[in-house]
Amino acid sequence: MNVEVPLNELPDEAEAYILSLPHGESGRRLEAMGLRPGKRIRKVYGMPFHGPITISLDGRQIAIGHGISAKIKVRPASKEENR
Amino acid sequence: MKGCACCQTKESCPFASAMEGKAGYKGRILLMGNPNVGKSAIFSRLTGVHALSSNYPGTTVGFTEGRLQLGKAAYRLIDVPGAYTLEPTNEAEEVACRILDEGADAVIVVLDATALERSLFLALQILEKGLPTVLVLNMSDEARHKGIEIDEKALEREVGVPVVSTVAVSGVGIKELLRAIGEARIVIPHHSSNEERWQRIGEIVSRVQRISHRHHTFKDRIEDISVHPLWGGILGAFVLAISFLSIRYIGEGLINYVLDPIFDAFWLPLLERISTALGGEGLLHSLLIGSLIEGRIDLEQSFGVLSTGVYVPIVMVFPYVLAFYAALSILEDIGYLPRLAVIFDALLHKLGLHGYAIVPNLLGLGCNVPGIMATRVLESERERFIASTLISVAVPCAGLQAMILGTLGTYGLKYVLTVYGTLFAAWLILGRILHAALPGYSPELIVEIPPYRLPRLRGFTTKLFFRAKEFFTDAIPLVFVGILIAGLLYESGIINVLTGAAAPIFDGVLGLPPETAGPILLGFLRKDVAVGFLLPLGLEPHQLVVASVTLSMTFPCIATFVVLLKELGVKRLLEALAIMIIAALAAGGTLNFLFSLAR
């Protein structure tokens, strides 16, 4: 399975691998916070009305605005990869 | 270090940088690291100087400095605002870069032991600057608890500088850190790309860190629920409601059962004796004791420095300030504030801000000054302008709220709610207008949400003590000055000239007697005192509502004015002032119109 979905479309509580980050300052900021291609994350929840997405990265929560989350591409973890 | 006279908080003093260059220091040492890793807690341990620390990223936005004694030499230790990277993405990071670029005799880089990988990114960037450096693995207890084991010695070999494990809040490892600072080492600087850095970090982490698997705990569950679309919102409403109710009841309780009885039993009789000794009249009497109401001193309405000047700040305002900061400190230390950013993000986007702007706005409910300082965590100048303007227009400080509750509360809750409702509506409408009118776009929320932590009693009491102390040293002198100036204005008759000039606006637009112009102008000194000056005018409750709203929204108090000037610059300040005056008249005028329809 090798599908690419934007982070905001990943179902709540699903795990995924980061494929790419947006260009520019927000991407740089996320990278400095340790979010970069290849990292495994869990989407905690997304807020309604284009609210932010909260992810869990290495056991830490990061809240990411809706617009940016749409530009973060992830690959959902397959069943075998789920621990 | 002591901030300037008008600052509520020393560490947020806008003139802190001008107070540099004190003699007697051998050099300077920087304390750097990611946001919310405990730099301020380490700073307090090393210097004995209180630095405000909380459990949310961006507590320190200015910088605090203190004296660090190493053997016989004293160094200036600077608590640098948190940064994720030396390629600045916000104002706080820019400040951090500027301070680092000015050079240092040593840099203490604080790492979060529970987030080693991310912490090392900034650490490597700093090491590449070629300054003597020490690494601190803070929160090592929490890391162990989470099943994270870091081999300190191995990390030391990897990076080539001393590494010390600490638990800053309880003081573990501070002695070892003091020794290590003397052994700070330079690694040969070579510039690498981010890719190279991450690769290097990957190697380091794989060699020094071991993680044992851990199950989802109850705390993890609560952390997840706090950002749940439905339950998170309900929890947020619950937390805010509990906070406001406890502030109200604690404040009211302190006034009715503690301070009022004390003042009636001891202070009032003393004043009566002074009043008799002064002969009950004359300039000195009216400045110190004020005017007698039906032959007696009225602590709320006599307006002498010793009567109302002492009563208003200490009995009417201080209990609410204390209760507010007690509630805020608990929320800060638990780590709840960033969760509010998640809940409020969608709403704040409609005002051209993102969710984290809720933090400065909440701080503004205590005092506008730290609130406006805290807008430094926002990324763009546009956001900072919108947030600062909204805070100074529509976020009433604790002193003002205490007086509004104290005066309007006696007429009924509906009047108090009308004031709050109007201010909230003004906050929304003005934010919407500014968002539409200002060019540019609004950056989006990217914020780390810290784990929940149990507040420590000692941290809580120290923080509350310092916030209370600042109220006494910084706010109360201004109250005295305000009441003195008011006394002089009234005694000399200057106030009549001012009210005469303001009459058309006050009478025509706001439906208020021209005498209300005096108190509203006095709001420039202290808004809480100004509400007090409205009392003897015998206004109808609905007029008091209009006057309170106008006073809240119009011209900022002098402390806020100074910080706005410093943060926004002259041009932006003038724009903000124009917005405030127009908004205040619009809101006051609309309320007056609606009241006239209702009657």
From chain B, pick out residues whose CB is under 8 angstroms from the CB of A51: 229, 342-343, 345-346, 355
Domain end (from B318, B335, B352) = B335
Report the distance separating Cα B234 and Cα B71, nearest Å: 54
Residue of A nearest to B121 (CA): A32
**Per-residue pLDDT band at A2 (split at 50, 70, 90):** low
Quick check: B240 pLDDT over 70?
A: yes
Q: Which of A29, A31, A44 has its CB closest to that of B224?
A: A44
Residue-level pLDDT at A83:
57
* pLDDT tens figures, B135-172: 999 999 999 988 999 999 999 999 999 999 999 999 99
Residue of A nearest to B125 (CA): A32
* pLDDT tens figures, B291-317: 888 889 999 888 888 998 899 899 999
Average pLDDT, chain A: 92
Query: Of B490 and B466, which is predicted with more confidence?
Result: B466
Burial grade of B212 (CB within 10 A; 0-12, 13-18, 19 or more)? exposed
Q: What is the pTM of this model?
A: 0.88
* Cβ contacts of B25 within 8 Å, gap of 6 or more: B67, B74, B75, B76
Whether B543 and B496 share a structural domain: yes
Whether B501 and B592 share a structural domain: yes
Lowest mean pLDDT among A1-5, B222-226, B242-246, B351-355: A1-5
Any B CB within 8 A of A31 CB: yes
Instruction: State which H helix or E strand residue A44 sits in.
Output: strand A40-46
Whether B291 and B184 share a structural domain: no
Q: Which of B84, B114, B447 has its CB closest to that of A63?
A: B447
Domain end (from B172, B197, B214) = B214
The percentage of residues in chain A with a pLDDT greater than 70, rounded to a whole number, is 95
How many domains does one find in chain B?
A: 3
**Per-residue pLDDT band at B23 (split at 50, 70, 90):** low
From chain A, pick out residues whose CB is under 8 angstroms from the CB of B122: 32
E strands, B85-178, are 106-112, 133-138, 148-150, 163-165
DSSP for B497-517?
A: HHHHHHHIIIIIIS---GGGH
* pLDDT tens figures, B81-113: 999 999 988 878 888 999 999 999 999 999 999
From chain B, pick out residues whose CB is under 8 angstroms from the CB of A21: none
Domain that holds residue A27: 5-76
Report the distance separating Cα B479 and Cα B526, nearest Å: 6
Identity at B523, one-letter amino acid code: G
Quick check: B535 pLDDT over 90?
A: no
Report the distance separating Cα B530 and Cα B522, nearest Å: 6
Average pLDDT, chain B: 89
- Is the residue at A82 inside a domain? no
Asked if B379 and A32 come within 8 Å (Cβ–Cβ), the reply is no
Q: State the average pLDDT over residues B508-517.
A: 89
Asked if A29 and B114 come within 8 Å (Cβ–Cβ), the reply is no
Report the distance separating Cα B510 and Cα B79, nearest Å: 48
Ranges B32-41, B375-384, B488-497, most confident: B32-41
Residue-level pLDDT at B417:
95
From chain B, pick out residues whose CB is under 8 angstroms from the CB of A49: 346
Whether B40 and B102 share a structural domain: yes
Q: State the average pLDDT over residues B371-386.
A: 90
Asked if B229 and A29 come within 8 Å (Cβ–Cβ), the reply is no
Residue-level pLDDT at A1:
53
Whether B193 and B52 share a structural domain: yes
Q: What angle do CA B583, B389, B52 make, to 5 degrees?
A: 140
Q: Which of A34, A45, A60 has its CB closest to that of B229?
A: A45
Please choose, from the candidates B552, B492, B543, the residue with its C-alpha nearest in 3D space to the C-alpha of residue B514. B543
Optimal mutation site among B91, B447, B452, interface A, most CBs of chain A within 10 A: B447
Asked if B85 and A58 come within 8 Å (Cβ–Cβ), the reply is no
Whether B318 and B230 share a structural domain: yes
From chain A, pick out residues whose CB is under 8 angstroms from the CB of B84: 29, 32-33
Whether B180 and B88 share a structural domain: yes
Domain end (from B166, B189, B214) = B214
Looking up residue A35, the CATH number of its domain turns out to be 2.30.30.90
Quick check: B18 pLDDT over 60?
A: no
**Per-residue pLDDT band at B572 (split at 50, 70, 90):** very high
Q: For residue B263, what is the DSSP state?
A: I
Whether B190 and B258 share a structural domain: no
ipTM score of complex: 0.94
B84/chain A closest Cα distance in angstroms: 5
Whether B197 and B228 share a structural domain: no
Asked if B227 and A45 come within 8 Å (Cβ–Cβ), the reply is yes
* Cβ contacts of B597 within 8 Å, gap of 6 or more: none
* pLDDT tens figures, B394-420: 999 999 999 999 999 999 999 999 999
Report the distance separating Cα B260 and Cα B240, nearest Å: 28
Instruction: Please give the span between the terminal C-alpha atoms of chain B, in angstroms, as a whole number.
Output: 56
Instruction: Please give the span between the terminal C-alpha atoms of chain A, in angstroms, as a whole number.
Output: 17
Residue-level pLDDT at B295:
86
- Is the residue at A27 inside a domain? yes
Lowest mean pLDDT among B458-462, B498-502, B524-528: B498-502
Asked if A58 and B355 come within 8 Å (Cβ–Cβ), the reply is no
Quick check: B119 pLDDT over 50?
A: yes
Chain B residues at the A interface, defined by Cβ less than 8 Å, are: 84-85, 87, 89, 114-115, 117-118, 121-122, 146, 194, 198, 223-224, 227-229, 232, 338, 341-343, 345-346, 349, 354-355, 379, 443-449, 451
Whether B206 and B320 share a structural domain: no
- Is the residue at A69 inside a domain? yes
CB B114 within 8 A of CB B142: yes
Q: Which of B146, B194, B444 has its CB closest to that of A65?
A: B444
Asked if A54 and B355 come within 8 Å (Cβ–Cβ), the reply is no
Residue of B nearest to A25 (CA): B89
Cβ pairs A/B, distance under 8 A: 114
Burial grade of B278 (CB within 10 A; 0-12, 13-18, 19 or more)? middle
Residue-level pLDDT at B1:
34
Lowest mean pLDDT among B14-23, B346-355, B442-451: B14-23
Residue-level pLDDT at B77:
94
- Is the residue at B187 inside a domain? yes
Domain that holds residue B596: 360-440+484-599
B136/chain A closest Cα distance in angstroms: 18
- Is the residue at B551 inside a domain? yes
A4/chain B closest Cα distance in angstroms: 22
Residue of B nearest to A46 (CA): B229
Residue-level pLDDT at B17:
42
Any B CB within 8 A of A50 CB: yes
Residue-level pLDDT at B494:
83
Residue of A nearest to B93 (CA): A29
- Is the residue at A36 inside a domain? yes
The percentage of residues in chain B with a pLDDT greater than 90, rounded to a whole number, is 66
Whether B409 and B299 share a structural domain: no
Whether B194 and B235 share a structural domain: no
How many domains does one find in chain A?
A: 1
Report the distance separating Cα B363 and Cα B388, nearest Å: 12
Q: Which of B85, B346, B446 has its CB closest to that of A64?
A: B446
A39/chain B closest Cα distance in angstroms: 12
Identity at B300, one-letter amino acid code: E
